[in-house]
Structure 1
């Protein structure tokens, strides 16, 4: 009996290739809904898959709200039928104009974006006022990751300033805590709750001082099960859809399945106990240490010892008998940027590649 990942018509698949498995994607969506059964509180992040086909699978499951990181991802989502899209990015410079053009192109879709400074908020307001339109904005809160955002303690004043800008609607709060990756779920939960306390305090201040009750979007894959327990908080996992070895090793309470692999071939045997495959930097995310960038499901003993643009060098166990042309099926350590390296994905159904999905939102621009 074949392993779940093997491709029977592999001779038709050029490598390196990204392969996706729809049955396992469907199962991951099912698992997601066991954590957050109220789909109105799900706002999945699409930065992992960048795929209109995956977007349509989620929509068919009743999920209508989405999050994304780029305007191309937002356009892909709108074109796939998404009705509510949060651009989880502050649109600086020309991005504000592109976002305004996108909202005009899809008038039946609700769009929103992030802000963390009044200067950018004014710029966005001016752009949308010029277009005779408005855009919902969420304040991007820095809850400890120190990547973007404003501290919750400083955000009340910003929220009040937003209320006076004609081209925007002060709508919500966004709190991404991607730095919380403790293996111990109890420790992760404690840290998450401590960080979120400032967000809840800010929300109460806004309610008391303005009468508005801001929407809240919080967390990513590591913390969404924690935020799912909160009332009126939308959860935004992303990596769950394809899964990878990085999160599998950390998030042991989450039983998601590997649903996207890199498929590669042995292209040379340059020395004893050494093989070269066609899985270079251009085919798999390479920001992590060489030894854990990929795990081969059908050859777990292979050890990466070298990596360049088009090649990966592997040490083989003594006595192994690899041949040029042998196929390896690898799980990325970090699947999100790996997907972005592939313009299409081979769709594997019943061990056969039956079609290809375009990774449409890997482009910086689609039409807008």
Structure 2
């Protein structure tokens, strides 16, 4: 459109900067319905094709994790799924046709038992993403009846009838709904194979703070 044309013209006058193409990230397309994602992504692809006809020399990178299969099936452009290794429980549950498997887990500990059928974990919003509703931020596979009472900077308070099964210091596995903020906090991930943690560690070279 006219705005993109104006931007390209402005770039042409900048020293040390060259316009080479477009990266079309459609992260807002994360509907559970494959048909809806196909329709919405397809419209974006139609618009980009029109643009590419006017600028045939440009490189195009498109798509996000929920839509990269659509882009790959309809174009010969480079695809760009954002989450390529550490799939979280959100992806595993949301897009069954993509067959994502949970590929990241966190270790958390019981730090206190405040009473009233509650346990407190060291799993605050420094550790896991908190933009989702409280009940959808994490899955605790060992606590089937978990109800999340409160979430603070350092702690997650969980109500459960299983409080007698847990003691201060006990470790639990947690599956985050959104893994990206967690990955950004750690320099490496411990590799788990066949249900057991190994001595192998993968450095997170792009995310280590």
TM superposition score category, shorter chain reference: 0.7 to 0.9
Q: 1:261 aligns with which of 59, 84, 105?
A: 105
CA distance in 1, matches of 2:25, 2:121: 37
Q: What TM-score do the two structures reach when normalised by structure 1?
A: 0.52
SS at match of 2:73: coil
CA distance in 2, matches of 1:290, 1:255: 26
Q: 2:33 aligns with which of 166, 181, 184?
A: 184
**Other-structure match for 2:197:** 352
Structure 1 position 178, deviation (Å): 0.6
CA distance in 1, matches of 2:34, 2:54: 30
CA distance in 1, matches of 2:172, 2:84: 23
The 1:175–1:222 alpha-carbon spacing in structure 2 relative to 1, beyond 3 Å, is same
**Other-structure match for 2:89:** 245
Q: Is residue 143–residue 162 contact of structure 2 (8 Å, CA) maintained in 1? A: no
- RMSD, matched Cα: 2.2
Q: Which moved more, 1:271-280 or 1:296-305?
A: 296-305
SS at match of 1:347: strand
Structure 1 position 238, deviation (Å): 2.2
CA distance in 1, matches of 2:12, 2:76: 22
CA distance in 2, matches of 1:290, 1:253: 27
Judging by fraction of residues, say which structure has more helix: 1
Q: 1:198 aligns with which of 47, 64, 84?
A: 47
How many residue pairs get aligned? The number is 208
**Other-structure match for 1:278:** 122
Residues 316-359 of structure 1: per-residue CA shift (max 9 Å, x gap): 12685222232211110100111112343223245133143443
CA distance in 1, matches of 2:165, 2:27: 42
Q: Is residue 189–residue 204 contact of structure 2 (8 Å, CA) maintained in 1? A: yes
Matched, 1:293 2:137: yes
Residues 283-334 of structure 1: per-residue CA shift (max 9 Å, x gap): 1112222211110123232222112222211001268522223221111010
| Structure 2: stretches of 5+ with no match in the other structure | none
CA distance in 2, matches of 1:327, 1:359: 23
CA distance in 2, matches of 1:282, 1:166: 40
Matched, 1:232 2:76: yes
Q: Is residue 215–residue 232 contact of structure 1 (8 Å, CA) maintained in 2? A: no
CA distance in 1, matches of 2:86, 2:144: 20
CA distance in 2, matches of 1:171, 1:260: 35
Higher relative contact order (CA 8 A, sep 6+): 1
SS at match of 2:19: strand
Structure 1 position 160, deviation (Å): 4.2
Q: What TM-score do the two structures reach when normalised by structure 2?
A: 0.88
